[in-house]
Structure 1
């Protein structure tokens, strides 16, 4: 078993050697405990079915049943086929060995066998936790049709009393008269008194005492046989040089038997913030306290326990979002509020802005005019070079090297290399973990980059699991599972790092974070080069991911061409459109009580969260995509109770529907009992949004205050600065533009802006922040006053 910290929320996984870790979040003071849970023998007997109607009109059904219990066995068992019968009888028995603390769900499927593809007639799931050990239980399941009745199975659960098996020490001394001595060992007993043993050997013999710890367990054989077999495993071994023992004296010695197995897992399990983020918060609170004293003209620094935790969120929107986020942050800097921000998070194009800023360890302490000027140069430059034959050759070499090294390669990786050119126009060797230097002293806000894990052919609105990327960790707060950023995209199993790969360059993450475009590369190519690549529709063998959301890009799977068309076409056969990566939760199982956590939407019977065998820990791969396929703003990553955010500045750069992210977030929070203010808007607000909105729940102090900034040109077209009207024609012309017009340069698929177009968008977003200074300062003042 493993040692781990414990208090409040029970969660989640079975880990190495079949022991359940209950990872919990709670009290600051923690104790180390060791939990033990038994295994049980589960017997499932498939009996018979009645009144089965097959799919063939000319004959009766040819029925068989499949059984799946993935937490106990990777094998899908099946009964024999009963040909041409409406009332098949099987009376076949199957055996499993299940763990008591894991959520064990038995899946049963009834099929009508066909020559090519068998037809599934029905399927049921059965929670094994409802079975009482030692008492057989017979279940009858009804099919979809009322007239059909299937008596499927009876189950019997029996406790396995020798839960840990028998252990013994095996000692041998080569050259001695005695060949080997065996001494029983009960590791969990306090009655292990010293057992004497004697070897007869010449005192001048140069030999070693060999010590082995062996465990023998009794298990059920695979297949249909109910027989048991014994398996012996050497848990550890060591040696003691014979010459090191003193003659005629007793001596106590410690013999290490191999590696210590109680070391920490390589996957961090738990809901708490990692220790590096907690250290950052301690340092950042000091800086926020000093910043609030200056900004709010306070007589003294507020206590670090009193300062509000402020998060800044940037939505998706491609280059429009990248450009706009620069402007919004510039506005906060001019108000001297950047040092009051604890977290900064983005989706899609906003992550591109953040990842460029965080290449400079002092970025928030410097005038953002420099980084903005550099970004303008890149955004206004031609993107045609991204699809040159030389560049395509570079893409192919990079991706081919990745695949030869054993990595998974997808269209998202190709898109990441294209984004690298769009943003840098050169090879970028930086990695996300490099940003640890930028945040370790608390000088800059803590960056959180967003992606979501999805499933093929399932809408992002129906199922999307938020994955956070920070300089220190990558992981899912839903499952309480995290890995070091340096280890992301390496191979893990049962919480252990199996095969380490180099950390991916940040361009590949930028491609993943903004992967909405990866599925529409033909449109990108058409916009940049001027011609499409319709022939690439021949790549119809590729696994497609459909995101049924009319408000976002219409995704389809195509790639750019040129001199290397055939090479790319062959290389990308059967690739996926999402960022397919190794699942670091593979081999871990959900705790039997996982449904009690509000992080899972189990109240909806059709939601995947209600089916543990279909959730991400059971998958070999993750499919990480642009967070905008779920909610186009990273609210879920800062609304976690562990981060305790008080105020959220939400900047929305979506092409349309300026309040959609708020409505979707409210729904998300309602389903998971997360405090969030009610979003109430009138028709005028929906049709003609203003620059800033404040939403709060005065009756719930745990609910964050939301300041929402839609992307609008409201008063900017009349004022060049707050309170200063535009008088010159040049100034009026600069401010007179529409963002969402038919011929707008800011459309999502436009990756190149003219310098004046870039500057307009930056200044608009900067102005919208400056023009709402009073609202922002008032909300910062309130918690300080209340604490005082």
Structure 2
């Protein structure tokens, strides 16, 4: 995948914004920072002239529209510009000009939004989403955007792009994300020269920089109190934005509301304004300056501008991190010897012939936790656990994995000890989770997190409940602690899954897969990863701004298994098979306008112009109620401040070709957001296939264990659709009606035409031949044995319901045993898959030679 991006990058292109690219070789660092490149791209000056609109019908039935236009180009300016309001006119005319300096390395999308100003509310009428990257420099372009062809509503805008004399900008990019130089402005207020007016009340200084990571800072300056000053401040901002430090001096006074009322109220008066021209400051030097604020007032500052280095704290790459690659080199040796033993070979396969086997466990709460123990026990008894490279879990399966990886050598020991411990925890009473002592503990923990500056949500409380359910005590372990369990490749490599969603968008419409490993957390979609120890710290433009302690693993368990992060729409979709369809009639209407290709050069990365007609305030009310995920885990977005590269649509992880998909709106994609909203991956695909089908992991065999309550093949069908959209090889899932009605214990899916597609063995959660056999080929004889095997997993009276967190010993043992048996009973299929994978690897090796 990355190779395709790289080849497309170096091939000749007839792009309007020509780029001068510098290759810079760099040795691989211990952080795994590689597979990025440094590029230089020219700047351009963009002039946008909003001319006029025609036949505009506003929202006010009693008068004509009062129109104005807002302009947003966040890659060039943090400021939203707007025209003047033209009152009571269906054909408003503005002829207002706005100027931007744009950098051609990033995807520059201009949004033009037409509003009807009303006394009570400003109503958004329509938006134009326009990719300025396809324009020809030096040639004016006048566009008439058809807002409503039936009503002949139109908007005329004129564009002009010209070369800029500024030196080309340098960016660091992986082909999807681009990082600019980051400028930090450090300073301190030394003295405030007061006027007589400012001495009448308390004053405060407000500092801000448009586009900076830090929000507005307020520093009090009370009369005759110089101790208020001397407090340092810092702002981090994109160097290319050319933002100035804005200084405001405000005074707060207390006055009577009116002559008839004795009540007092506070009023704020603006006493003065000033700016510090940051772009003129010498980099790396302290500067003492006096900032005039007007009317005899000034502020003495000491400031220093520092430019960051290119050593990013976010790894921009689509390859595996160094630690995972080192693990694979070590694990191949172990797997090779295990295959020799399991397949009865005379000699161990060569390390380049060893197939990569991934085990994926689905969600399903405590049912999935319990079942996964049984499945892994079956693999261990067949000596196949040592043949496994990856163990990947989602939702309840992750609870099993986190417990196992507390033991650094767990897969080298008999799993019965771990299963016995899990049995005691699962069967114990959960009533203590709601005791006054525990509730006090929850409050203290969440309060401590809030004091650390973290974003606290219901998911964190849910994580504390899970901690009690699984341990009955405080668990101090962290995900990075599991590095000890894989540093010698003694156990398979664990991967934990979550998805990033939007609070008011269904997981079926938008979900970005996020992977958690002992070494890294990140998104392969963007090629962006951070060290696990740094997760939930604050980043900006790829740099670590505010380091916080790594969250305890219980909080991650809350994210991975956040069953309560569903919206009402999700609940209806899962329970009734369809969402709240009436919302579809209210949602935004997005239309692709493709009548302007003649204005653009032939550029495969150019995004078609889109017209967005908002659903209106009623939609927002319904969305907030039915689609909002008030319980999603909100964490700091470590991609904040990074931009989408101009060629990002070339990457197959994006489906920008879907006209209404969020991938086609780069200004709204995750790097532009303040927060990540991470939830249980089950709200997209209830099995972590997307994390192991990525080409970088080169997985040959996937052992899929499905613990879903129903729809035993849904995860395969959804994965097949996912892989088709992203052009990832995956076998066709073809099933008979009999299979759908009465699933068997194991299914093998193979694409014989494409050896790059993984071999998939799928194990639905069924109790089939286990009813009759206590072990493969060994029939049950006594009544107790027959009774033990004769039980129904799915049903309204089943003890294995997803929201049941406590099983009796007997029920726990049954569920473990049936899953273990289903693996043992399909030994032949498992060995067949391994042999086929080996032959494919040998063939691949021969073709290379």
> Shared fold by TM > 0.5?
yes
DSSP-derived class of the 2:799 partner = coil
DSSP-derived class of the 2:570 partner = coil
Which residues in structure 2 correspond to 1:45-64 (within 5 Å)?
A: 45-64=49-68
- Which residue of the partner structure matches residue 231 of structure 1? 279
Which residues in structure 2 correspond to 1:242-641 (within 5 Å)?
A: 261-517=308-564, 546-547=569-570, 550-551=573-574, 576-641=630-695
- Which residue of the partner structure matches residue 730 of structure 1? 784
DSSP-derived class of the 1:547 partner = helix
- Which residue of the partner structure matches residue 236 of structure 2? none
DSSP-derived class of the 1:447 partner = strand
Conserved? CA contact 1:7–1:24, under 8 Å: no
Instruction: Give how far 1:699 is off.
Output: 0.3
1:676 equivalent in alignment to 2:730: yes
Conserved? CA contact 1:306–1:783, under 8 Å: no
DSSP-derived class of the 2:795 partner = coil
- RMSD over equivalenced CA pairs, Å: 3.0
1:116 equivalent in alignment to 2:120: yes
Which residues in structure 2 correspond to 1:710-749 (within 5 Å)?
A: 710-749=764-803
Instruction: Give how far 1:220 is off.
Output: 9.8
DSSP-derived class of the 2:279 partner = strand
Instruction: Give how far 1:35 is off.
Output: 2.0
Instruction: Give how far 1:259 is off.
Output: 8.5
DSSP-derived class of the 2:508 partner = coil
- CA 1:221 to 1:506, structure 2 compared with 1: closer, same or farther past 3 Å? closer
Equivalent residue for 2:707, pick from 617, 635, 653:
653
Instruction: Give how far 1:547 is off.
Output: 2.7
Unaligned runs of 5+ in 2: 11-19, 170-238, 247-276, 287-303, 581-627, 843-849
- CA 1:749 to 1:553, structure 2 compared with 1: closer, same or farther past 3 Å? farther
- CA 1:24 to 1:63, structure 2 compared with 1: closer, same or farther past 3 Å? farther
DSSP-derived class of the 1:642 partner = helix
- CA 1:473 to 1:783, structure 2 compared with 1: closer, same or farther past 3 Å? same
- Which residue of the partner structure matches residue 154 of structure 1? 158
Conserved? CA contact 2:144–2:157, under 8 Å: yes
Instruction: Give how far 1:21 is off.
Output: 10
Instruction: Give how far 1:143 is off.
Output: 1.2
- CA 1:393 to 1:586, structure 2 compared with 1: closer, same or farther past 3 Å? same
DSSP-derived class of the 1:49 partner = strand
DSSP-derived class of the 2:148 partner = coil
With normalisation by structure 2, the TM-score equals: 0.74
- Which residue of the partner structure matches residue 68 of structure 1? 72
Instruction: Give how far 1:616 is off.
Output: 0.3
Conserved? CA contact 2:147–2:155, under 8 Å: no
Q: Choose between structure 1 and 2: higher strand proportion.
A: 2
Q: Which runs of 4+ in 1 moved over 4 A?
A: 6-11, 19-25, 27-33, 216-223, 257-261, 552-556
Conserved? CA contact 1:10–1:24, under 8 Å: no
2 CA distance for matches of 1:487 and 1:164? 33
2 CA distance for matches of 1:330 and 1:436? 23
- CA 1:93 to 1:20, structure 2 compared with 1: closer, same or farther past 3 Å? farther
1 CA distance for matches of 2:359 and 2:365? 18
- Which residue of the partner structure matches residue 242 of structure 1? none
Unaligned runs of 5+ in 1: 1-5, 12-18, 166-215, 224-228, 239-256, 520-543, 557-573
Equivalent residue for 2:83, pick from 49, 67, 79:
79
2 CA distance for matches of 1:688 and 1:95? 66
2 CA distance for matches of 1:57 and 1:23? 62
Conserved? CA contact 2:284–2:305, under 8 Å: yes
With normalisation by structure 1, the TM-score equals: 0.80
- Which residue of the partner structure matches residue 758 of structure 2? 704
2 CA distance for matches of 1:218 and 1:485? 31
2 CA distance for matches of 1:34 and 1:281? 29
